[in-house]
Amino acid sequence: MSEPDSKRDELERDEERWAAAQRRQHFLTGACILLAAAIVGLAWYAYPMVQADASLHNLPSVTQRLSGAVDAAGDRLKEAEAKVADSLSAQQSLRGQVTDLGRSLRARIETVSQQASQSVEDTYHKLQAQIETEMQAQTERLANVNERVSGLESSREADQGQIAQLKQELNQVREQAEQRSVQQSSDLAQVHRQMEEGRSSQGEQLAALMRDQERDRRSIDAVSDQIAVRKIPFEATKNHSRDLGEGIALYIDNTDTMYRRVSGWMFVASDRRYLWLRNQSVQEPVIFYGNADGQKRELVIANVTNNSVTGYLLLPKAARETAGLAAEGAGQ
């Protein structure tokens, strides 16, 4: 709870106490009036008694009782007046306190009101500035949105033109596709007819193709046999004849390890001829052909030492079979 509210509550409580004090004052005033009326009534009532008692010679006692009653009533009246005076002084003191408190409270309320007014004014100015800033930002955003909308509308018009063009192209493509579909259906029907017509001759063509493949296979095998060679390694000692196989003999009579060369001769029994080797270099093949089959043969020297040479002889694979067949025919 703020300070103005607490002061306001305190003021309301003081006003309530002031109203209660006024009610007590009114009550005491009424009580004093009633007490005075009772005294008067008592005197009026006691007067005949006094006369009767006087006749009975009891006047002193009656007078004494009456005097005591009057004194008691006077004392009560004095007490009531004292209470009323105290109440009045308390009321005056309370009224002064309430007045001072009201002044202080009004001063504080005015101060708080001024401060609140200043704070409200400052807050109002701040809110107004903030609202103006936000309104300006919203105005700029609205302008940007309007520009974008304008751009979108222009692009939309261009897009609509492109869409119309694309629709036209799509219709053209659709028509072309339908025409192609009709043409393909016609071509497919024609191919189907041709397949039906050519299905009867496929068996004969397949048989002929298989025969051609078998003939080609035999031709390839024959060519492969002609191309295939056999490699026969050897080692020949210097000044000694070395049988290399297939009726071929090698004789080395000179070796040159520095220049890696050899000299000698080679005898081919099937052709009954000699092939001379004069300074034959290593890895340089000696090529010769058979007189009977015309196929190529090669002699290669791989290494040379002082007393021997090593190398290999390449012979055609078919030559051995031919030689075997020729030997079988000679035996028959």
Reading the block at residue 305, the tokens are 């030492």
Confidence grade of residue 109 (pLDDT, cut at 50, 70, 90):
low
Rounded CA separation 159/216 (Å): 67
pLDDT at position 329, please?
44
DSSP 221-250: HHHHHHH-EEEEEEEEEBTSEEEEETTEEE
CB 312 within 8 Å of CB 232: yes
Q: Is the pLDDT of residue 117 over 50?
A: yes
What CATH number does the domain located at 229-331 have?
2.60.98
Asked if the model's pLDDT at residue 213 lies above 80, the reply is: no
Contact 310, 218 (CB under 8 A): no
Q: What is the mean pLDDT of residues 61-73?
A: 63
Tens digit of pLDDT for each residue in 10-38? 777 777 777 777 777 777 777 777 777 77
So what's the pLDDT on residue 304? 95
Question: Span 218-243, mean pLDDT?
Answer: 79
pLDDT tens track for 145-199 = 778 867 777 777 777 878 888 888 888 888 887 888 788 778 777 877 777 776 7
pLDDT at 325: 44
Average model confidence (pLDDT) across the chain: 76
56 falls in which pLDDT band (50, 70, 90)? very low
**242-263 CB burial, b ≥16 within 10 A, e <16:** bebebebbbbbeebeeeeebbe
Q: How much is the average pLDDT of 295-304?
A: 92
> Residue 54 has what pLDDT?
47
Which tops the pLDDT comparison, 297 or 69?
Answer: 297
- Alpha-carbon torsion angle 207, 213, 217, 220, nearest 10: 150
Measured distance CA(267)–CA(148) in Å, rounded: 103
Q: Which stretches of 163-271 are assigned E, i.e. beta strand?
A: 229-237, 241-245, 248-256, 261-268
pLDDT at 144: 82
